Amino acid sequence: MKIGVIGGGAWGTALAQVAAHGNRDVLLWAREPDVVAAINDRHENSSFLAGVALSPTIRAMGSLGDLSGCDALLVVTPAQHVRAVLAETSVGATPLVLCAKGIEAGTRMLIGEVARQVHPHAPVAVLSGPTFAHEVAAGLPTAVTLAAEDDDLRAALSDRLAAPHFRPYASSDVVGAEIGGAVKNVLAIACGVVEGAGLGQNARAALIARGFAEMTRFGLARGARAETLAGLSGLGDLVLTCSSTSSRNFSLGVGLGRGGSAGALMADRRTVAEGAFTAPVLAEAAREAGVDMPVTDAVCHLLAGAGIADVIADLLARPLREEGA
Ligand SMILES: NC(=O)C1=CN([C@@H]2O[C@H](COP(=O)(O)OP(=O)(O)OC[C@H]3O[C@@H](n4cnc5c(N)ncnc54)[C@H](O)[C@@H]3O)[C@@H](O)[C@H]2O)C=CC1
Ligand SMILES: O=C(CO)COP(=O)(O)O
């Protein structure tokens, strides 16, 4: 199975490195000519994944047309760009493995829904989980959820992408795998705020637990399975990104918690903090589904410039409720 990767950011590059395990050929499309040149000439991506010696069997290209002939395409651009990039890619019935974590603004579509709309004949899979790109690229042990409805596709992709340090767990719950990854980015911003504002470890643990309740309510309303939400792509990734400044979303939250404005914190950054884009659309989608997501709403207010003290006070002043409700 010849793998093509769409997106030469940190995660696309790390996944190309995984797929190149055992000196297998991998094609990688990157948007930036300097990234294409650095990968082909020096086997490095100093722009997005500095300090990693890439496999020489990874070949980078600047034209999406060069990916034709691949047996599966990993889609690893930021969520808000997936539609445009897929529309430029000749896909046909080639399986698409979606690795971006987010919900499309405007349409409120999960990325799998976007992919199916743009390429109705392409089977869709989702790869998601607790996976800091730099750790994966360094060969540290990592486990992910690999979800696809089709049994054969799931097995073929798991076999092809598994490596001694990279362990996919198969699932047929595509929607569940997607929702965990999208929602945890928003909750990671909230946990970063707790850190930045010095609200303490108790508050962070409470946010993780109540955030997971929120993720579960939304996921179940959208057809996800509870065990997927409690697995690697849901709870696993939530715990990772809510506890480390290696997370761009958590770091954005730390900045907000210290009193920075979202605009200033997001300006000029070359890397993506998906939660900032997902939060408003997730809040809309939750309202549409009749699901209460107070932490997500709080993140939206903070991103829109509300003061931390007011947002925290509002969150804590909500009526008391049953834990399982
Ligand atoms: N970095 C990580 O550790 C992980 C990232 N992800 C997800 O992977 C996706 C990609 O993130 P990263 O690789 O981290 O990106 P990154 O933050 O390292 O780099 C930004 C990427 O955005 C691309 N980009 C910017 N403008 C674009 C446009 N108009 N059209 C297409 N692409 C554009 C850049 O070419 C670059 O590849 C995100 O959804 C992220 O949540 C998932 C798991 C781990
Ligand atoms: O998704 C990730 C780890 O699983 C990366 O998180 P950040 O995008 O917050 O850095």
Is residue 146 very low, low, confident or very high in pLDDT (cuts 50, 70, 90)?
very high
pLDDT in tens, 275-297: 999 999 999 999 999 999 999 99
259 is in an annotated binding site: no
Q: Which is catalytic among the residues 83, 160, 184, 217?
A: 184
Number of C-beta neighbours around residue 238 at 10 A: 26
Is 275 touching ligand 1 by the criterion CB < 6 Å?
no
Between 200 and 270, the more confident residue is 200
Residue carrying structure tokens 């493995």: 97
Whether residue 48 is predicted with pLDDT greater than 90 in this model: the reply is: yes
- Contact between residue 269 and residue 211 where contact means Cβ atoms under 8 Å apart: no
Cα separation, 35 vs 38, in Å, equals 5
268: pLDDT strictly greater than 80 = no
> Helix, strand, coil proportions of the chain in percent (round to 5)?
50, 15, 35
The residue contributing the CA closest to ligand 1 atom 37 is 9
> Does domain 3-172 match CATH 3.40.50.720?
yes
Ligand 1 centre distance from Cα of residue 146 (Å)? 19
CA of 100 from ligand 1 middle (Å) equals 7
Provide the residue ranges of all domains of the chain, joining segments of one domain with +: 3-172, 175-316
Confidence of residue 144 (pLDDT cuts 50, 70, 90): very high
Which among 166, 191, 240 is the best mutation to test ligand 2's pocket, defined by most ligand atoms within 8 Å of the CB?
Answer: 240
Q: Is the pLDDT of residue 100 over 90?
A: yes
**Residue 110 pLDDT:** 98
Mean pLDDT for the stretch of residues 109-130: 98
Q: What is the pLDDT of residues 213-248, one digit of tens each?
A: 999 999 999 999 999 999 999 999 999 999 999 999
pLDDT at 104 over 90: yes
| C-alpha of residue 101 to centroid of ligand 1, in Å | 9
Does pLDDT of 325 surpass 80? Answer: no
Q: What's the pLDDT score for residue 236?
A: 98
Which is the CATH superfamily of the domain at 175-316?
N-(1-d-carboxylethyl)-l-norvaline Dehydrogenase; domain 2 (1.10.1040.10)
- Residues 39 and 13: their CA atoms lie apart, in Å, by 9
3-state secondary structure of 166: strand
Which residue has tokens 């990104």? Answer: 241
- DSSP annotation of 235: I
Helix (H, G, I), strand (E, B) or coil at 257: helix
